[in-house]
Structure 1
Amino acid sequence: MTRVRQSLNRLSYLYYKAKESDEALNTESQNAVETLEKVVKAIHELQKKPPGDANSFFNLAGYHGEPFQGQGTTDPKWWGGYCHHANVLFPTWHRMYLLRYEDAMRTVPGCEDVALPFWDECELDQNKKPMPIPEVLTREKFRLGNQDIPNPLFSYKLQKELKHEVDGAAHRYSKPLDYQTVRYPRSGLVGNAWDRLATRSQNSDFAHHDWCTILLNRNVSSWLQGNIKITRDGIKETKIADTTSVLGRYNYCLDASTYTIFSNVTSQKNAPIKTHPPPTSLESPHNAMHLAVGGFYQPGVYNANEIAGANGDMGDNETASFDPIFFFHHCFVDYVFWLWQRRHGSTTNLVIDPNDRGAVLQEGVGSMPPKTKLNMDTDLQPFKKPDQTYWKSKDLVNIEKIEGDRGYKYGPGSLDHLASPHKPIASPIRGPEKGDDKVKKVKKITVNRAVHRGSFVIRMFAQPPGKMELIEIGREPVLSRWDVEDCDNCRDKLDVDLLVPLTGGMLDYLGEENKDGEYGEKITYLGAVQSYGQMDFTANLQDMVHNAAAENLQDIHPSAVKLVQDVDLPLR
């Protein structure tokens, strides 16, 4: 029987509504209660299994990052986990990962027909604002049977220590036995003495669970909306979805013209930019949601305050999968992947461009060395079929017809209306009726990840002519490792770009004068890299950026500021 993955938002809502009501349950509510209890029971049992059990939560979570395996245990030239990021196998590897996790859930007695629900991250309320994280993911307790248990969807307590022994990494992601996963605004860095001291202080400031849940929901909502306030010509607010709104990125990635561009951020950056919005990959909003939940960063100019020192597990590849929310997040990512396939008539075949940078490993993964070429026949390690051969991407293209009774479908979701092929999604920018949405300029910031330890956000600002204010026009979250600077074999992967296309309408909003068809000459563009614990301003821009941060950006503190480059059109 085909599995059906349902919206966790709907299941959670109906479950708690039913538990708080004395009325008889209708069929939908009864099914929701039974389904959610099976999901919780299955994951609870996986978390109870000893770490050495193949179906234990510890073992399954460990496929993604830590505990590192093989050469990647100590060698920074290799990634010690098995996950694929920034390459064409990102969607298919994680699709197989979810199937393996779901198969393990189905080994629990009474849960043989369970399917993993998806956290519908793009669902909006009646006011067109993002819905809160499903309540079942944020409550500390869950009533299973006749007793309250620690909610296995909220957090996981390590049954075995994690040793982060990569050369030069300062043990940042070592975790002791009984470590409990955390989310924004708390910190989970406990690998060395300095981090333990900072984390103890951080978490003592945010000890109240309900308040932390409020802050987490605010942070995620801010990332999803990405509102930018521009105060000119009576325009109070405008959304530039491709660079700031995670909701927009999820929408726009569905218009990526090829699987290669759609699949990962490396290929996305090599795609030509001709119109607004520019090409967007599925991996881009995926990265942003990791950072929003992990909590290392919160927008400082929107609806929530920045909270320095938040370093939850979802914010880094090493430990993300040990937070149970990881699998519900990735289930939504896979839902969007399937929508793209349906929208582009690619439900039975996916084509990888062999000449694209994203089709080559830049660091070793599993048993595959750096520079390995990737295609639909590449082994998806460590996942094996019953005959002990590895699963491959070509085995997973049509989700409804996966061998071994693993076919599945998705229940109703917030983006279903985008599944049918039609003209590209329109830009949400609002301006004058005769505004020009044709791209006139593309601005670029290039940042070397080796300079910034851990995850960070690249940000771009525009200073209108004659004004001492900075207006944010773009940002790109970068999910990164703490030890990446030691990876000699992946130098060509260390540079990451933020590309911001500027339309005629946007330039008008910013106060640009248009002379002889030339744009962008009188606006000053600045770039910043924001991460925690750093205050290193470029000297010649120090005063202006510092004042803007304090006055207009609500205490945002960029760690490095540099001038923005022009990019020729079309960009390749």
Structure 2
Amino acid sequence: MATSKPYILTGIDSPPPGILDDPPFRLEINDFIKDEDMLNIYLLALTNVQNADQNEVTSAYQVGGIHGLPYTPWNGVNPAKDHRFPGYCTHGSVIFPTWHRPYVALIEQVLYEEAVHIAASYTDPKLKRNMEMQRSASGNPNAKIPAILNTMKFVSVISAPSGTRTQISNPLLSYKFHPFDSTVWGEAGEKFGHWPQTLRHPSSDKADAHSQPERVQGEIGGVALMLRDRV
């Protein structure tokens, strides 16, 4: 359950034994998915965080609510009453970058802690070691969205602790609410309040809307250079 106890944001722990004591790079996605072990542990960690009870402060539902919809108090603390936007995020403000950095650090810490737990649970010593060694270097940006982010409904992973290969719903494609509560969306409920899962570039505002991956790729491709130059 969510509590009023502070959640301490420290950043991720030191690297495992045998790894250079440097901060890990944030890989460009096309390089990231080439490393099967790294991708595997990330998918498992993200799945667990998404499947966590939506009342847990470190669940994907609660952490996502810090940035935007659905607007729910995080860890029992409400946003400032004079905040220009619902929720906590300082969108459209000069302090947005400094607000966003600790938020990203929170997401990384939550995922890392879950990944460490999963890696330690493997019963096969070789698998355990491989999963614990996941640190790497960065590559070049690419405007082409990998299928795992845009079209793949299922992904193959090596499950823990058994080490058997299995298919799971792709946690990078969509988040399924559990339970789904249409009342948490506030004024945005008219548009979002009837979708039991997140959609990419929805085909309409109706309940039977579906994602449009080809439109997503088109939109990203059209602004890729602008985004690269701004970031």
Structure 1 residues 118 and 100, CA gap change in structure 2 (3 angstroms): farther
SS at 1:148 equivalent:
strand
1:183 aligns with 200
Q: Which amino acid aligns with 1:9?
A: N
SS at 1:142 equivalent:
strand
Contact 1:164–1:173 (8 Å) recurs in 2: no
Structure 1 residues 136 and 249, CA gap change in structure 2 (3 angstroms): closer
Distance 1:53 1:136 in 2: 27
- How far is the alpha carbon of 1:42 from its aligned partner? 0.8
Q: TM-score, normalised by structure 2?
A: 0.66
- How far is the alpha carbon of 1:97 from its aligned partner? 0.9
SS at 2:183 equivalent:
coil
Distance 1:89 1:96 in 2: 12
1:140 aligns with 153
- How far is the alpha carbon of 1:53 from its aligned partner? 1.6
SS at 1:63 equivalent:
helix
1:356 aligns with none
Contact 2:49–2:59 (8 Å) recurs in 1: yes
> Are 2:169 and 1:150 equivalent residues in the alignment?
yes
- How far is the alpha carbon of 1:115 from its aligned partner? 7.2
Q: Which amino acid aligns with 2:199?
A: V
Structure 1 residues 47 and 170, CA gap change in structure 2 (3 angstroms): closer
- 1:401-448 per-residue CA deviation (whole Å, 9 max, x = no partner) reads xxxxxxxxxxxxxxxxxxxxxxxxxxxxxxxxxxxxxxxxxxxxxxxx
Contact 2:182–2:193 (8 Å) recurs in 1: yes
Distance 2:173 2:185 in 1: 28
- 1:133-171 per-residue CA deviation (whole Å, 9 max, x = no partner) reads 1222121110112211110011000123252575xx373
Q: Which amino acid aligns with 2:172?
A: L
> Are 2:109 and 1:106 equivalent residues in the alignment?
no
Contact 2:31–2:138 (8 Å) recurs in 1: no
- How far is the alpha carbon of 1:223 from its aligned partner? 3.2
Distance 2:183 2:101 in 1: 27
Q: Is there any run of 5+ residues in structure 2 with no aligned partner, and where? A: 1-13, 15-22, 120-131, 159-164
- How far is the alpha carbon of 1:214 from its aligned partner? 2.8
SS at 1:107 equivalent:
helix
2:213 aligns with 213
Contact 1:9–1:134 (8 Å) recurs in 2: yes
1:67 aligns with 71
> Are 2:110 and 1:92 equivalent residues in the alignment?
no
Structure 1 residues 118 and 40, CA gap change in structure 2 (3 angstroms): farther
2:37 aligns with 34
Contact 2:185–2:193 (8 Å) recurs in 1: no
Root mean square deviation, CA, Å: 3.4
- How far is the alpha carbon of 1:34 from its aligned partner? 0.7
Larger relative contact order (Cα-Cα within 8 Å, sequence gap ≥ 6): 2
2:57 aligns with 54
Contact 2:174–2:198 (8 Å) recurs in 1: yes
> Are 2:31 and 1:7 equivalent residues in the alignment?
no
Distance 2:54 2:99 in 1: 23
Q: Which amino acid aligns with 2:154?
A: K
Q: Which amino acid aligns with 1:181?
A: T
Q: TM-score, normalised by structure 1?
A: 0.29
Q: Which amino acid aligns with 1:219?
A: E
- How far is the alpha carbon of 1:116 from its aligned partner? 11
Q: Which amino acid aligns with 1:96?
A: P
Q: Which amino acid aligns with 2:65?
A: G
Q: Which amino acid aligns with 1:33?
A: E
Contact 1:164–1:172 (8 Å) recurs in 2: no
Structure 1 residues 94 and 118, CA gap change in structure 2 (3 angstroms): farther
- How far is the alpha carbon of 1:118 from its aligned partner? 9.0
SS at 1:95 equivalent:
helix
1:461 aligns with none
- 1:16-59 per-residue CA deviation (whole Å, 9 max, x = no partner) reads xxxxxxxxxxxxxxxx1111111111101101111112221111
1:172 aligns with 190
SS at 1:154 equivalent:
coil
SS at 1:222 equivalent:
helix
Q: Superposed, which structure 2 residues align to 1:361-510 within 5 Å? A: none
Which of the two has greater helix per residue? 2
- How far is the alpha carbon of 1:94 from its aligned partner? 1.3
Residue from 70, 75, 79 that aligns with 2:85: 79
Residue from 24, 44, 56 that aligns with 2:47: 44
Contact 1:83–1:93 (8 Å) recurs in 2: yes
Contact 1:71–1:80 (8 Å) recurs in 2: no
